[in-house]
Amino acid sequence: MRVYPTFFRLAFSWMDAERAHKIGFKGIRLAHASRAGRVLQKLTAPAPSLQTTAFGVTFPSPFGLAAGFDKEGHGIEALADLGFGHIEVGTITGQAQPGNDKPRLFRLVQDRAVINRMGFNNDGASAVAPRLKAARAALQRRYPSVRPVIGVNIGKTKVVELADAVDDYLVSARSLAPAADYLVVNVSSPNTPGLRLLQDVETLRPLLTAVGQEADRAAGRHVPLLVKIAPDLSDEDIDDVARLALDLKLDGIISTNTTIAREGLASPAETVEKCGAGGLSGAPLKQRSLEVLKRLKHATGNALSLVSVGGVESAQDVQERLDAGATLVQGYTAFLYEGPFWAARINKQLARNRRS
């Protein structure tokens, strides 16, 4: 019997979602700071059979935590204690910014979903970079063979005009690439005005080219570069992004970000309307995310790594994405509903399936 769903209902379901997130994240970090962290590391460590290689990097498990949970690199080691094969930090911007006005995070419990319009609230690239460097060194000490991987997701600062977006992304790439195992260019959040316009291939080409070159120069090595796209792109636009990724020899594509769609929800319409604008994540995204993954796989073959995210809740979901062509799979929203041992349960079931 799982205790966390009852705990969530009693302790968190009535609370402002952003406040609940902060309290839960603080609890995870406190556990890491105590002796419990070492115990958790042993209990949740993925089985060796789950080791996965993507873009030249070895991951202890194909299942990781998507960007958005740890926006500023405060809890990378603590989250690694829970069994995630990688932790993607961010979205981080070139300049510090407070994000959008509160409230800006809302649960749709009936749909096992979340609507957010956080707006890339973060301390800025220069402040986050030392945290990433320290976390990377600590993970290397604690996991001498195969350590959890650190991904870094970067986006545009809100006050920066679209015409100056490339230079803004380069600030982040310059600061963060040296401590990143891979770098993600986020052009698909609906919460920064105009950002999704950067998904147009003619705009995306110079952005990805410049970020890739600057990241490698700053790090003194090749930093795998991925782009994160929205589920709301048309099939034709998805094909265009796939062709661009192949042309630029990107290392991968992450599909998908949150959606602005609201169709097919079980929650009352007035509840959804009260939440307002923002990106929807969680179970309702499952079908579209899988469709985008399959389309990308058809378009790119084995030429690059595909990272699937959106509506992932169980080991069965993870396996379905892997079978459909993903190299890695990420989750986030279900973590809020399933609790701290979610990744460990998924890893154990994946390992059990591989033995059978």
Catalytic residue IDs: 189
Query: Tokens 């007035």 map to which residue?
Result: 270
Could you give the dihedral angle defined by the CA atoms of residues 132, 133, 134 and 138, in that order, rounded to the nearest 10 degrees? 100
Whole-number Å distance between alpha carbons of 96 and 110: 35
**Residue 116: enclosing H or E segment and its boundaries?**
strand 113-116
The token duo for 344 is: 């460990």
Report the DSSP beta bridge partners of residue 113: 108, 282
- If you write DSSP's letter for every residue of 5-74 in order, what string do you get? HHHIIIIITTS-HHHHHHHHHHHHHHHHHSTHHHHHHHHHPPPGGG-EEETTEEES-SEEEPTTSSSSSS
Q: Cis peptide leading into 192, omega within 30 of 0? A: no
Whole-number Å distance between alpha carbons of 24 and 30: 10
CA distances from 254 to 30, 74, 226 (A): 31, 23, 7
